[in-house]
Amino acid sequence: MFATAQTLPATLDRDAVLASTRPGLERLARRLVWDDEDAHDLVQSALVDALSNWRPFTQPGDAEAWLRRLVTNRALSHLRRRRFWAVISSLMRVDPPAPEAPDQAAERAAHLRALARAVETLSARQAAAFSLRYLEGLSLDETAEALALNRGTLRVHLQRAVAALRAKGVL
């Protein structure tokens, strides 16, 4: 028997999914790399990959999870490269440019900057796990799926990240 149009699940409109998830993807990327321009570039490249590798989705959550995964993978790669070049530049005794101090430093902004600096000292997995779980508000299962980890491994990364951030006095 042939399937009729009524029995086939409707696929999601690619452009509508990309448009609706883009703000959340950019927020996620900003929380992972702590830089607006890098985050924008990461999301752009992830969306280019998504367009070229798009497959039909019937559930909006599936498409959103896949897109989050693309952005998370890009961000982790970016963090690894950034740390690698930081080590290389320190070995070459090249100082990175000093971050610009904001004109008006509110207490919340100062705390977020301290948190961002502390998160950057974590391993890439710990930083991503902490950002996705506590800053983005994803559940343990969603975070584990985004990082391709099982729950137990994720909880270890989260525990170590929280302990390290508490030791630095930012939590």
Question: Does 122 lie in the same domain as 81?
Answer: no
| Mean pLDDT, rounded, of the chain | 81
Count up the domains in the chain and report the number: 2
Residue 150, domain extent: 106-171
Which of 95, 120, 149 is a domain's end point? 95
Q: Please give the structure tokens belonging to residue 123.
A: 């391993």
- pTM summary value: 0.54
Question: Does 74 lie in the same domain as 116?
Answer: no
Q: What are the pLDDT digits (tens) for 22-53?
A: 999 999 999 888 889 999 999 999 999 888 88
Question: Does 122 lie in the same domain as 146?
Answer: yes
pLDDT at res. 71: 93
Q: Please say whether the beta carbons of 54 and 17 come within 8 A.
A: no
CATH code for position 151:
1.10.10.10
pLDDT at 156 over 90: yes
Q: What are the pLDDT digits (tens) for 51-77?
A: 888 888 777 788 888 999 999 999 888
